[in-house]
Each structure stands twice: as C-alpha cells, then as structure tokens.
Chain A
Amino acid sequence: MEIAVCINQVPDTGSAIVVRDGAVDATRLNMVMNPYDEYAVEEALRFRERFAESRVTVFSAGGEDRCDILRKAMAMGADGACLVESSVAGDSFSTASILCGAIKRYYARRPDLVICGRESVDCNRAEVPLMMAEMLGMASLSAVASLTAHEGYLEVKREVEGGVEEYVLEMPAVISVEKGLNMPRKTNIKAVMQARKKTIDRMDGLHVEAPKVVYAELAAVERKRACRFVDSVEELADLLQQTTGLLT
C-alpha cells in the first residue's frame, strides 16, 4: 500500500503570536510539526504495520526550513520524505494545487491513501485536504475521529453535532484526521540520529495556483470584558435574570 502524508510547519502552540503592522511577526516563533499532522503520520505508520509491503512518504510544501519536520516524520518511522520546494505563500487553494502536483509526480499511479491533519493550527482553515482530494479526483472525508482499516476500504467515524457518523470509505481516498485518533509515538535519540542521515527528496518547478483568498489587516484580538465580581449565587442569579432575560 502506498501512503502519502502531507505535513505542515506551524508556530509552537505555546508561542505568543505578535502582530506588527498588520502581519504576524515570525522572527521569534519556534516552528514545529503541526500537531494534527502527528496523528496523520502515526496513522500512516499503523497502516504500514498492518499491511505488508506498505510505504509511507511524507510531503511538505515550502522552504528549506521544512526539512526539520520532514526529518521528524522519518524519525517517527516514515520511509521517505519529499520537500516540495515553493516560495509562494498562497492560500489553501494554492497549497492544495502544489501538493496535488507533487503527489501526481511522485507516484506512478495514485497512492492508495493520503492522510492529512484536520487543520493547521496557524490558519485553522481545514480546507487543504478536501481541496486536494477534489484535484486528485479521489474520494475523501474530513475530521476522521476513529478508523478501522480493511482490505480496500476503511470504516471511519466523524463526530458531528449531537452524534457520531459512521462511514464506509473505499480506497483510494484522502482523509483528514482529528485529534485523538491515536497516540502519536515519541521519537528516540537513535531514530532522530538515523533520520538525520536519510535523504530528503526534492521537487521543484511544480505549478502553483494563484490564491483566491488573501488575509489582510491582521490584528490581535482583544477580548477584555469588565468583569463584575459578585459575592453570592443569589446576586448572580438576579443579575442574570435582569440582564439576559433568560431565567424567566
């Protein structure tokens, strides 16, 4: 089974995002593998353990600095890594187009499965996996919270408002995975050292679609409210009754 995993690089979720002159100040951000993508890599490795003669290849589109996350994926156990060289900071549509081009060029036929994280924690769009699936002409499902693999198809669950949807998804397919799908394995020093010696494939000259959405006028969100502290639940209930009109 051929499994492609698309991974992204994002600021560490602990880092403070500083906006300066309408843009995020990237100079002091510590970049890491997108947390959702760790679930994607882990799930791919589980497929390989389950299905003989499987191969897991990770892809990331961007600059040279992405080699770190590609090596991390190899330290986790991925068989190969491919840096899709691009200097264009586009939108989801652009990103999906270049990843689609890379996957088409890398595989003689389509891979059996493409796994992505549900969303990247920087832009939170959750758009790329499904857009890429449409471009690749592959079946897809987003936000997969649980998954059972069978020969040729997957049983997957999605959490929705007030319930859980259970699907059958035939491969080849693209899925994006939800937090909690699995417990991503930790890398050890030996694996990290070995991954450093491995080659990262490079691809360039791929077509990138022009962005359709541009995010402008970035500003830090101010959520301050003037909190009125109350001393008793009676006082609170009175205030809520008066101001919200709900407790009647």
Chain B
Amino acid sequence: MKNFLVVLEQRDGCLKRSSVDVWNAVQELASVCSARVCGLLPGGCSPLPLSLLSGSGVIHTVADEVLSRYLPDAYAEVVSNVAAETEADDIFMAATAMGKDLAPRIAMRTGAALVSDCSLAAGSGGSLSASTMLYAGSVSARAETRGERTLYVLRPSPVSSRTLRQGTVETRPRRSGISEDTRWNPVMEKLVRFAEGKKDIAEADIVVAGGRGVGSAAGFSLLEALADTLGAAVGASRSAVDEGWRPHAEQIGQTGRAVAPALYIACGISGAVQHLAGIAGAGTIVAINRDPDAPIFGVSDYGIVGDIEDIVPGLEHAVRSRLGRND
C-alpha cells in the first residue's frame, strides 16, 4: 500500500482553502490507488475544520511558535523529516506562493522528482498520471517521473461537485524536531496583509477581473462594487497591472497567478493566451467586452457586448435584485 503525504498550509491558524482542496483531491485519488493518506500542517491550526476534510487519515500538526509563519528552511526540514518517518511514496501540496517556494527545497532534500503546477488523475493499476501546461498555458504535457518518490504541486482546480465521503480525520500534535537555537536564513520579519475583508483571487468562488478595457484605475471601482455584491474577489489582466491600475498580486495569467473560481467574469479583457492560462480551471466564464471580435468570447460560456461603464453597474443591479438586496 502506498503512502501519500499532504503538506497543508495555514495563515493565522486558519487552514487555507487551497489546502482543503488538495487534501480532498488526494483522498479521491487515494481511494482509487488504495493509498494511505496522512497530512502535515506546519504551524498548527486550532481547531482544524474537520467537517471540510473528507476521507480518513491522520493530520500531524507541528505547532512550534517559530513555524507559525512560513520559514523556508525550517519548513523544508520538518516536511522532509516527516516524509521520511511516514515513508511517504508521494508528497502533495497546493501551488500557492508558499508551495512554489517550498516544493523544490523538499524535492532536493527527499530525492523526489518534482512535478510543479500539475493536475492529477488516477490511472490504470493505481498509478498517478500528472498533466501540466507549458509555454504559457498554450501546450499541455504529461509529466513522466523517474525514481521512487514524487512531489506533486497541484494547480488550483474546481472543487469536485461529487459528494465527498464524510471524513474520519484525526489530528495528532507532534514535535518538530528542530532546534530552537537554529539561526534560520531567510527569516520572515513581517507579513503585511491587504485590507481586511478583501478576498484573495485564489480563494474566492467568484472572481471579477478587469483588463485594459476598464480604462483606468478609477474604472475598477465599478468592478469592486460588483465584486462586493457578489462576494467576489477582484483580479486583473497583465495590461491592467502594467498600466499601474492594480497591484501585481491581483494579476491573473501566466506571469501572475492561476485561479479556479466557479464563476469568472472578465471585464474588458481581450483574452491573450497568457491570460487564459491563468483561468484554465475556471467554471463558468462570462465575458463583457466592447469588441465583439475579442478572443475572450471564444473561450467564454456567456458573452455580452458593450461598454464596461454600462454593463457592470447594470449587472450589479440585476444581481442585487436577485439576491433580494435592493435598496
């Protein structure tokens, strides 16, 4: 029987949504591959949202104060030690900012083959099949690995609509085994959070994104209003970020981030292939654009041709009335 190890991520003691998704995805794979799953949460979390976690397995929590925030070398050491102790055949984590920085370190320390930014399917005979994207999302490929152990970094994917098996997941605190006297390098001095209540594009069910067609930084206020009404996060295309209208952290696409919301509303985004790479995992895609020939329409489920200034406030109003929030 194979052993799978899922590396989970928390911020301020809250398990990240992306980690919940990876845990549940790995549970599904494990049920096909007949593998045993365990988890590792550096920094600990109280309490773990066990009702969101399917399947069975032990989640090891390592609650050392020093691990409460990402500490690259210490995290790599703790994960590598637990991978060895649990005889993990394969290791899984989410393609977050932390996951991408941590994964190559762990791959090197555990001798694992590293497959970044991938999606997984259980193949015949209980083996895993990893697919990934190359060339800014314009080319897909299957990643074949050599060696006994593989570390998979999973790109965001829409959460399975299937009913997940109710979990019998238990948590088990464990010692980190790292010395308190170690001088780590680098060290995170602080984490500057964006405004309270502002949703992150990677964690939101709905993303409202704007491109050059929004016209200005001020123009994004219309998108923000729509996002507020929908409980959505605001994202941006590369053009909008390059114009300085939005921060780079909101950039969706190959040079930005990948998102997989259930609903993606593209406002004034033409649909360059690099942008489309970032929304490959999106559920329903809506395009709002002045240009009826914009390529974004070709990859969307619904399209509406018109000016952002008219359509976006109109849509917000229409949504508001359906949510029974007309004022």
Contact = CB atoms under 8 A, between A and B. Distances in A.
A206 interface: no
B144 to A, nearest CB: 5
Given A121-B254, A163-B192, A227-B287, A237 B318 contact: yes
A13 interface: yes
Interface stretch (A45-53, A58-66, A166-174, A189-197): A166-174
A135 B109 CA distance: 10
Interface stretch (A1-9, A73-81, A103-111, A240-248): A240-248
Nearest to A17: B135
Contact of B298 (A165, A215, A227): A227
B246 to A, nearest CB: 12
Given A124-B254, A167-B186, A237 B97 contact: no
B190 A166 contact: yes
A37 B152 CA distance: 26
Interface in B119-149: 132-147
B308 interface: no
Given A126-B100, A223-B276, A215 B116 contact: no
A67 interface: no
Interface of A: 11, 13, 17, 19, 24, 92-93, 121-127, 130-131, 134-135, 139-143, 145, 155-156, 158-170, 173, 178-180, 210-221, 223-234, 236-237, 239-241, 243-244, 246-248
Interface of B: 11, 16, 18, 69-70, 72-73, 96-98, 100-101, 103-105, 107-109, 113-117, 132-147, 185-194, 198, 200, 202-203, 205-206, 230, 247-249, 254-255, 262-263, 274, 276, 280, 283-287, 297-305, 311, 314-315, 317-319, 322-323
Given A165-B97, A225-B300, A232-B314, 12 more contacts: A24-B134, A130-B108, A139-B73, A161-B249, A167-B187, A167-B188, A214-B144, A216-B144, A221-B140, A227-B299, A233-B311, A233-B315
26 contacts: A124-B134, A131-B104, A134-B108, A139-B186, A143-B97, A156-B186, A159-B247, A160-B191, A161-B96, A161-B200, A161-B203, A162-B11, A162-B193, A162-B203, A164-B249, A165-B70, A173-B186, A179-B255, A213-B145, A217-B141, A233-B317, A236-B318, A237-B322, A243-B284, A244-B263, A248-B322
